[in-house]
Structure 1
């Protein structure tokens, strides 16, 4: 249809400056728009679901569920309800608020974050906006009607976001008992590391009957079973546990005893433990626990139910500064980088194993499962490339560090 609809206008008495609900704004739109926009409902809902799943993979399992009350059906109902409400003389109960409450409850149940949910809601609005703007161009909808249409959409997104935030925050507060709130606050104070909180820390610790230790280790927890089957870890009173964070935390003065996987306290969880440090340096322990978890997740290190940061110090050090490791690699391995691909890979592997085995050709041949003469020839080529640097202990150390860092970087990909 190519009819110009510049005559379509918002219903009389519906001043755009007046505050009204989303349902009233949809009802105030010209009824003629409904015939063009309602057929888009399914495609808009589908693109919103696909867009959210693509932008944040953590939502995929929730969005795959089908049936009444699920998130995917709630989103479809909300889209249809808005478009069905165009020009409706009797605005119905607003679906956006209902959807927002469902989203807030679902995010809380999944132990998610409110900021993450708000980002998904904003993305939904952008996707719907693109569809409606495209329809407006195709049907040559008047500027006044287009402005009213966008106001209705933005009001809908605002109502969804507000309802989700209220539901999430209310549920979160309801779930925390007074003692849990104290533990949550005490954990936050300890890992903040600011001296201004010393009195508050001591007061909270006394209220919890938690003795302030001289040294602590901070661990972050990662679920290793589906959330639906997950149970809170079980620790004694001298272990602080805060499960209200995106990365649940544990603070203990005796990590070897409290985080022993044999006692069953961590069933369903993996603990990544930072180093044992003076109490006031708890933020340092948390930092290295997080870094170790990141290396574990990207494959740079391997681990079981409990992973100790102090057992991976060289890996953490090599991956702690991208610029310095890249510069060291570029400077110390420049002769290799100038070679064509196959030769570079072969000689790089040989150099790494040769340096690891105290420059022994025999041991290198055994590790690589090659004839000793083959390794001898490769080392001869390496000497031609690196010259006297291959006999310098300092340069050999730099080469070994650079090669180790390069292998760790490759394992992250």
Structure 2
């Protein structure tokens, strides 16, 4: 847990001088303390719905003991006219921690404090009236009651904020551990992941997508609050990333666009939870290719689901370069412009199912020009133009070239012998 600044010390408030009636009235209130506590708990449950869970079953008896201790010390302070001391906050701490663990927020805590002051003052006033004290004597306790409650509230806020910071830090660490387990290259282990998810208060989804974030956005960066609370993040990894549950849910991609505005990122494919590491690997590949200008990223991000063939083809660029060098060796004697025209024509012809009219239309050239180019290609490749294996390999090589990747040196390359295959 992170180190915290020492709790704020509140300067003692100057309370009214002790009134002779204060001790007597406090004695009367102490004698009816169980009634006061019952009334206080009843009003808390009636007016603050979030507090209701504090007083149920076993948790209820513990919360009641915390309330009794708080009220007893509060009455002592009011009767003595003394300021609330720092050690009181520690004694109040058990109730405040119970409230925090049961989901009460700071507004709820302050609402409970106001109810406590109101009920306490009501009992002080009633006790003073029954004992025959004058309104002026009783009013001294009113001032003391609300002055003490102001200090109690301030100390409670200090403690609550420390608890919140500690819990947020612990929850953040638990979520990082969960993310690390989900992205482990050692494989997905359902039981440890389920245990970590409970500690991280994270519901296991059916599908996820990982988001690879540009390395320049390191631990010094701060994520936008636009990101949903169930998005797991770790910017301190060597490969900073996010994990988005149910990424196809409405608004998820827009959330990422807002939350990562100005940051380069790639959204990995949507996969089952157990394949989260695969989604991250592809997201990292997609991000690298986008930053190199291979994949389009006009808005600073890329969705890998839309580029799976390219990601597959570029998974091993060294192997691909060998394939390209072999497949395009027949163009080694062509000037660059002619090689470009013939390559575009061949790829279009392969993609269009060998339909020359469609080739001409796609390339916006005259059909006679298309036929002329195809005759040149037939001179170079012969019957291989009709071999399925050759066509598949050539399409890969030409598509790699179409991505704008630099071609391997072809000049002087030795054209491989025509494979002995059955012509069609």
Stretches of structure 2 that go unaligned for 5 or more consecutive residues are 1-165, 409-424
Match of 2:237 in 1: 245
Match of 2:179 in 1: 187
Change in Cα spacing, 1:262 to 1:185, as seen in structure 2 (3 Å) is closer
Counterpart secondary structure, 1:177: helix
Match of 1:284 in 2: 278
Match of 1:261 in 2: 254
Counterpart secondary structure, 1:192: coil
Counterpart secondary structure, 1:213: coil
- 1 CA distance for matches of 2:335 and 2:287? 36
Give the conservation status (yes or no) of the 8 Å contact 2:342–2:373.
Answer: yes
- 2 CA distance for matches of 1:229 and 1:274? 21
How many equivalent pairs are there?
239
Counterpart secondary structure, 1:241: strand
Give the alignment of 1:155-166 within 5 angstroms.
Answer: none
> Which deviations, in whole Å up to 9, do the C-alpha atoms of 1:348-387 show, x marking residues without a partner?
2222222233323233223333222222111101101100
Give the conservation status (yes or no) of the 8 Å contact 2:226–2:255.
Answer: no
Query: How big is the shift at 1:296?
Result: 1.0
Counterpart secondary structure, 2:205: coil
Give the conservation status (yes or no) of the 8 Å contact 1:299–1:412.
Answer: no
Change in Cα spacing, 1:295 to 1:382, as seen in structure 2 (3 Å) is same
Counterpart secondary structure, 2:248: helix
**TM (normalized to structure 2)?**
0.49
Counterpart secondary structure, 1:389: helix
- 2 CA distance for matches of 1:267 and 1:213? 26
> Which deviations, in whole Å up to 9, do the C-alpha atoms of 1:212-248 show, x marking residues without a partner?
23432211234999x9996535333322122223543
- 2 CA distance for matches of 1:374 and 1:192? 55
Counterpart secondary structure, 1:319: helix
Give the alignment of 1:174-213 within 5 angstroms.
Answer: 177-194=169-186, 200-213=192-205
Change in Cα spacing, 1:209 to 1:230, as seen in structure 2 (3 Å) is closer
Query: How big is the shift at 1:315?
Result: 0.5
Match of 2:310 in 1: 315
Stretches of structure 1 that go unaligned for 5 or more consecutive residues are 1-173
> Which deviations, in whole Å up to 9, do the C-alpha atoms of 1:177-203 show, x marking residues without a partner?
333222222212211143597655433
- 1 CA distance for matches of 2:225 and 2:300? 13
Counterpart secondary structure, 1:302: coil
Give the alignment of 1:358-373 within 5 angstroms.
Answer: 358-373=353-368
Match of 1:83 in 2: none
Query: How big is the shift at 1:409?
Result: 5.3
Q: Is residue 2:326 matched to residue 1:331?
A: yes
**TM (normalized to structure 1)?**
0.50
Give the conservation status (yes or no) of the 8 Å contact 1:187–1:240.
Answer: yes
Counterpart secondary structure, 2:405: helix
Give the conservation status (yes or no) of the 8 Å contact 1:202–1:212.
Answer: yes
- 2 CA distance for matches of 1:198 and 1:315? 32
Give the alignment of 1:14-413 within 5 angstroms.
Answer: 177-194=169-186, 200-222=192-214, 231-257=223-249, 259-261=252-254, 264-303=258-297, 304=299, 307-408=302-403, 410=405
The structure with the largest alpha-carbon Rg is 2
Query: How big is the shift at 1:273?
Result: 1.7
Query: How big is the shift at 1:394?
Result: 3.2
Change in Cα spacing, 1:240 to 1:394, as seen in structure 2 (3 Å) is same
Give the conservation status (yes or no) of the 8 Å contact 2:215–2:239.
Answer: no
User: Which stretch of the first structure deviates more once superposed, 398-407 or 244-253?
Assistant: 244-253
